[in-house]
Structure formats: C-alpha cells, structure tokens
Amino acid sequence: MSDALNLSGGFKDPALDAARAFRVALNAMSQPGQIFEMTGIEPPLPLSEAAGALLLTLIDHETPVHLGGRYNSPAVKQWLSFHTGAPFLPAPQALFAIGRWQDLLPLTQFAHGEAEYPERSATLIVECDQLLNTGSCLTGPGIKSQTFLNLPDERGLAANAALFPLGLDFYLTAGSQISGLPRSTRIGGV
C-alpha cells in the first residue's frame, strides 16, 4: 500500500470540540426527531461529518465498535484507531455500531440490554442520505406533542421501541445533520 495514512481531520481542540459535540448529542438524544448540526471535523469517507464527530466524542478503548458494510474499511479503521483506540468487534459484542441501515441488519444481533441492566445495549449510528422532518410520527419523552422524521425503517424501529425498557438507541446522521432516536420514542403514533 503506497497510500499515505490519512489521520488528519480530527478535533482541533479535543477537550472543547468534544464538549460541544457532546452537547449536541445530548440535546439530540433528549429531543428525539429534532435535527441538529454537528460539525468541525473531516473524517475519511464514507464517514459523515456528524457520525465522525459523534464517534470521536463517545468511543475509546473501553467501547467495542462494529463497522458495518463499507465502513469496515482500512481508512476508517486507521482513522478511528488513531483518534480513539477503540477495538473493532463483531456486532454481538459492540457497544457502538456505524453503517447504513441495511449494513446493521438484523438488529437482533446487537446487545439489547438486560431487564436489570437495560443500559447494557448498543447505540447504533445509522448513516442516511438526508434527514427531514417528514414521514413517521414520533411521540414520547423529549417530544412536546409529536414530531416527524424520515426513518430508514418505521416497522423495524417501532419493533425496537416496543421492547422498552430494553432495546437499541439510535443516532441518524447525514452530512452534518444528526437526530437522536432512543428506545423510549414511540413510532407511528401508537
């Protein structure tokens, strides 16, 4: 391989940039369906700006990460290894996963938490083409009355929500757009 390693494009000031990115992540997870902006880094393709910033904010050597589909590439692995030191493991052992929706299926392969420890579940970062406040109706904690979001798969995500308090938590990302979708969000107006 003659390609030079491309490890640039991370946080310029890690402590402050991660603090700002986390605030966006917290706002997004506590206000499901609202679309926020997460910027400030240049990760290698196919990682989006928002997904890259989110990973650099949340993962480290304690958090196994699963790379789905095209994300399981040397460029992504080297970049994430350099910036975070996170180990790459198969889906069942992962605390975080990144990929397109179809890369992450079936959802049952991920840890869903246990009745007495529901937080022991994976967080999935789903890369999308564009986030829009149209489509599926969302209700639940963090949502004043209702909101709408174009979900990759309404039925699959509604099935996940039905497992509450178990289940997976999601971030949907597209470019610099990011939206949170925790297990507590009811989907389809039910």
Partner 1 sequence: MSAYNFAYLDEQTKRMIRRALLKAVAIPGYQVPFASREMPMPYGWGTGGVQVTASTLVPEDRLKVIDQGADDTTNAVSIRRFFEVTAGVETTTEADRATVIQTRHRIPETPLQEGQIIVYQVPIPEPLRFLEPRETETRKMHSLGEYGLMHVKLYEDIARHGEIATTYAYPVRVGKSYVMDPSPIPKFDNPKLNGSPAIQLFGAGREQRIYALPPWTPVKSLDFEDYPFDPSRAAGQCALCGSTSSYLDEVITDDSGGRMFLCSDTDYCARRVQEGA
Q: Whose CA is closest to 49, among 103, 133, 127?
A: 127
- Please pick, from the candidates 6, 60, 74, 102, the single residue that binds partner 1 as defined by CB under 8 A: 60
64 binds partner 1 (CB under 8 A): no
Question: Does residue 188 contact residue 170 with C-beta atoms inside 8 Å?
Answer: no
118 vs 175, beta carbon nearer partner 1: 118
30 binds partner 1 (CB under 8 A): yes
49 binds partner 1 (CB under 8 A): no
Question: Does residue 10 contact residue 41 with C-beta atoms inside 8 Å?
Answer: yes
Please tell me the distance from the alpha carbon of residue 92 to that of residue 98, in angstroms, as a whole number: 13
User: Where do we find the tokens 């979001």?
Assistant: 149
Q: How many CB atoms lie within 10 A of CB 177?
A: 19
Give the H/E segment covering residue 147. strand 147-149
Using CB under 8 A, which of the segments 35-43, 102-110, 139-147, 148-156 binds partner 1?
Answer: 139-147
Using CB under 8 A, which of the segments 2-10, 20-28, 40-48, 72-80 binds partner 1?
Answer: 20-28
State the burial class of residue 18 (Cβ atoms within 10 Å of its Cβ: 0-12, 13-18, 19+): middle
Q: Is 96 helix (H, G, I), strand (E, B) or coil?
A: strand
30 vs 102, beta carbon nearer partner 1: 30
- Please pick, from the candidates 4, 12, 116, 134, the single residue that binds partner 1 as defined by CB under 8 A: 116
Residue count, binding to partner 1 (CB under 8 A): 38
- Please pick, from the candidates 23, 92, 133, 135, the single residue that binds partner 1 as defined by CB under 8 A: 23
- Please pick, from the candidates 90, 144, 189, 190, the single residue that binds partner 1 as defined by CB under 8 A: 144
Question: Does residue 11 contact residue 18 with C-beta atoms inside 8 Å?
Answer: yes
60 vs 129, beta carbon nearer partner 1: 60
Q: Could you give the C-alpha distances from 6 to 1, 2, 80, in angstroms and in order?
A: 13, 12, 11
Site residues, partner 1 (CB under 8 A): 14-16, 18-20, 22-23, 25-27, 29-31, 57-60, 62-63, 95, 115-119, 121, 123, 141-144, 164-165, 169, 182-184
